[in-house]
Chain A
Amino acid sequence: MTVEAASPAARALDRAQILRQRRRQALSQAARTVVTVAVALAVGFAITVAVSDRPALAFRALLTGPVSSLSRVGTWIEDATTLTLLGLAIAVVFRARQFSLLAEGQLYLGALAAGIVGLHLPLPGGLHLTAGLAAAALAGFAFGLVPGALKAIYNANEIVSTLMLNVVAVRLYDLLLTYWLKPPTAGYTWSDPLLPSAILPRLAGTRINAAAALALAMVAAVWVLLYRTPWGYELRMVGANPHFARYGGIPTRRVIVLSMALSGIPAGLAGAHLVMGVHQRLILNISLGLAFEGIVVALMAGNHPLLVPVTALAYSYLRIGGDIMERTAAVGSDIVRIIQATIILLITAQLTRVRRVRRDTGDDR
């Protein structure tokens, strides 16, 4: 390269060329994604053929089940709501390149907080809902401070500490549910139904509840936070290069702590959604590793908040389709897991490849 100022014409040429190249890449990426999804579905079909007496019926259930009736659409949206919230939680911490896996624990404590408010704090109508959601968000936030502070102060590896704290949260939930919230006469380990004023209103005739709108609002909020506030800027820079962030004057420790805590807000709300919307009471094993599905959702969205609801909808479609397949065609949920795993593998392989190609374009000679 030469270093004298380039002529305006040369600069314009550079610019046009790069923009053209970007367009070309976007197109080929879209084409490859379509092919990958097709291949993934074909593999899924092959597995179904191998295990089912009526593979066509089974596979139709998987592919069209979630939209085959209004109530199933409702179930799909309901599930996608939880996954969107969890995906957002993961996207926030992963953006700061903090590998906190605390979303599961934050979900449990959020569920617990929302449940306690919903059962034992009688408040008038809208206020009760707000209090339940706020309690859940607060619980998730506060719990996130723990591994955040441990890392910022003691340099404690967050993968380890969050895995450990998750178990602690789940056991605490079990403990309080079993010994305090469960009515002595209940046959199952669950609480009474929440007070009616603490139950999220549903859209007529479906399971879609107000949390769906809340999740979309959170998508917007996280996007604004990350891309339109100084605070989100700090978080993205710490994630992009922590040395650069510190050099530039960003208080990196505070960012680390807050990223883990803030990601607890959507995670806690996911717990509130399960308690106040889906089950309308506290139940044992309310999540069983949903946060891992949140990781899949977030990573497939490239940790971009606006893509999270899209990948959540796609992923939930597969989950609900699998449930329907199990019920209508007696293909087990275990098979569905296998198909899910295959599709995740193929799609992530595809996505990583695209990102790598994009990075390589900037290769210095």
Chain B
Amino acid sequence: MRGITKVYPNGVVANDRVTLTVEAGEVHGLVGENGAGKTTLMKILYGMEQPTAGRIHLRGKPVAIRTPHVAIGLGIGMVHQNFMLVPEFTVADNVVLGYEPARRGFVDRARAVEVTRDLSRRYGLAVEPLARVDTVPVGVRQRVEILKTLYRGAEILILDEPTAVLTPQETADLFRAIRTLVDQGKTVIFITHKLREVLAVADRITVMRDGRVVGAVPARDATEETLAQMMVGRKVVLTVDRPPARPGPPILQVRDLTCVTEAGHRALRGVSFDVRAGEIFGIAGVEGNGQTELVEILTGLRPATSGQVLLNGAPLSNRSPREVRRRGTGHIPEDRLRNGVALEASIADNLIVDRYFAPPYARGPLLDQGVVRRTAEELIATFDIRAPDDQVPVGALSGGNMQKVVLARELSSRPRLLVAAQPTRGIDIGATEFVHRLLVRQRDAGTAVLLVSADLTEVMALSDRLAVMHAGEIVAVFDDPRVLTEDEVGLYMVGVKRARPADRASGPVPQERQP
């Protein structure tokens, strides 16, 4: 790709004379912060966007890639950051989507299942062809995406942030699969902003910043520090500066919590732990092992099947979200776009959802716009939210700025308990640092912080105590996470190891147990 420039109709320059060379049979890492233009560049290569200027050469020949269809024909496949799967279809149906084996217009289901099995075996990507996609875990969905591109005969695979949702083990599996692919002659373009991963898997690395290519280096000559400097344009600190915690009394006490979902799935099987004032209690675990349900119960979004939740010693389970908030809970939700913000509403409207009904915002039957806007302007300044004013729809902000809106709201309510679920998902290094600093500051102000994160590096760097969840249970609690290695914790996460029950008891039960 030579001299690619992309200017959006609104004047945003996403790519500025970008030149990218990828050689056959290599794993090429493409790194840069969110908004650096990586995804746009790949969408151009995959025919989803048209460049404003520049040319693409494939195997020496100039090509015009007007649609994904053309890209597929040229042997280019893309695994998107948000999976492009049809939830109601089976794995096999998704793999063959668009290119179904057919006899006179009728889909040959048996053949679809067969080719899915073959591909799955050949590239070591285990899937169950007949399972419905909306019932399989994220890691499997990603394999389906990769199989999809292979089925269509992809020689060049673009993987956009493929590890964002994976565990260390799943990530390792993916890297092995990438190696298998390259060994069988495929070329892989691997987009990420996680430097450790790109160093582990890539042969060569291209770094982008602000829509431009900063440089391309062989992976063996690069280190995390040099790459980070190229990406951000300044030195970054990769560790979290965190003085020792001075924990106070327990704020949150969870006892024997169980949860059965509407679908009849046993999401939680007797979870107990305490979070004390002034500490960050981390929960690590592969996604889908009950963390989501746990957070939903703690924040009033889901009823518990049995067990107890106490906040400051008072029962809290099965209260409404408003009641839970009124008692001093803040919640940074794991799915920001679904729960955390209303995209089409203004920043001001997004900032007051937990307080609009109480004075000084509500005065008699009216909402005091003066107070609302003053508060909003203050929070925008304090949390450095990049926006022209408080009336801009939140949907117009970048991911990092959206998360700042959520943080501004949840932290300014001065919570006694802060439940932070995947707080840095999908945001860039700079914004991640900002979020980490805020969480530590909140802890130091005496808040009990419950941090749930699938990013093991993050949860280990931030937590004063660390629990690991597997299959709806807490399988280990560590009092000093600093002495652990990621691989060790990873073994607990996948259920290979579990601590003896004595190790995971968390203090005496404060009240009589419910039968």
B285 within 8 A of A: no
A68 within 8 A of B: no
Could you tell me the distance in whole angstroms from the C-beta of B329 to the nearest C-beta in chain A?
Answer: 10
The answer to whether B321 touches A362 (Cβ under 8 A) is no
Among A113-121, A226-234, A293-301, the stretch in contact with B? A226-234
Q: How far is the CA of A4 from the CA of B400 in the complex (A)?
A: 12
Q: How far is the CA of A229 from the CA of B369 in the complex (A)?
A: 9
Q: How far is the CA of A231 from the CA of B299 in the complex (A)?
A: 23
Chain A contacts with B in 213-245, Cβ cutoff 8 A: 224, 228-234, 236-237, 240-241, 243-245
**Secondary structure dominating the interface of A:** helix
Given the known inter-chain contacts A3-B431, A365-B12, please indicate yes or no for A248 contacting B366, CB distance below 8 A.
no
**In the assembled complex, which residues on chain A have CB atoms less than 8 Å from the CB atom of B331?**
247
With beta carbons under 8 angstroms apart, the residue of A228, A230, A241 that contacts B342 is: A241
Given the known inter-chain contacts A15-B388, A230-B357, please indicate yes or no for A236 contacting B345, CB distance below 8 A.
yes
The answer to whether B397 touches A1 (Cβ under 8 A) is no
Of the candidates A1, A21, A234, A243, the one having the most CB atoms from chain B within 10 angstroms of its own CB is A1
Chain A contacts with B in 243-293, Cβ cutoff 8 A: 243-251
The answer to whether B35 touches A364 (Cβ under 8 A) is yes
**In the assembled complex, which residues on chain B have CB atoms less than 8 Å from the CB atom of A3?**
400, 428-431, 433-434
The answer to whether B430 touches A2 (Cβ under 8 A) is yes
Given the known inter-chain contacts A3-B400, A362-B396, A363-B10, please indicate yes or no for A15 contacting B344, CB distance below 8 A.
no
The answer to whether B353 touches A249 (Cβ under 8 A) is yes
The answer to whether B339 touches A365 (Cβ under 8 A) is no
Could you tell me the distance in whole angstroms from the C-beta of A15 to the nearest C-beta in chain B?
Answer: 4
B115 within 8 A of A: no
The answer to whether A247 touches B386 (Cβ under 8 A) is no
**Secondary structure dominating the interface of B:** loop
Of the candidates A3, A4, A21, A359, the one having the most CB atoms from chain B within 10 angstroms of its own CB is A3
B33 within 8 A of A: yes
B245 within 8 A of A: no
With beta carbons under 8 angstroms apart, the residue of B333, B349, B362 that contacts A247 is: B333
Q: How far is the CA of A362 from the CA of B9 in the complex (A)?
A: 11
B11 within 8 A of A: yes
**In the assembled complex, which residues on chain A have CB atoms less than 8 Å from the CB atom of B345?**
236-237, 240-241
Question: Which residue of the partner chain B has the closest CB to A15?
Answer: B388
Interface string of A1-37 (1 = CB under 8 A from B): 1111110000100110011010000000000000000
The answer to whether A230 touches B321 (Cβ under 8 A) is no
B60 within 8 A of A: no
Q: How far is the CA of A283 from the CA of B301 in the complex (A)?
A: 50
With beta carbons under 8 angstroms apart, the residue of A4, A15, A365 that contacts B14 is: A365
With beta carbons under 8 angstroms apart, the residue of A230, A236, A248, A365 that contacts B37 is: A365
Chain B contacts with A in 398-452, Cβ cutoff 8 A: 398-400, 428-431, 433-434
Could you tell me the distance in whole angstroms from the C-beta of A172 to the nearest C-beta in chain B?
Answer: 34
The answer to whether A237 touches B349 (Cβ under 8 A) is yes
Could you list 11 further interchain pairs (A-B, Cβ under 8 angstroms) beyond the known A3-B433, A233-B349, A365-B398?
A: A3-B429, A5-B384, A6-B384, A237-B342, A244-B338, A246-B321, A249-B321, A249-B324, A249-B326, A362-B395, A365-B37
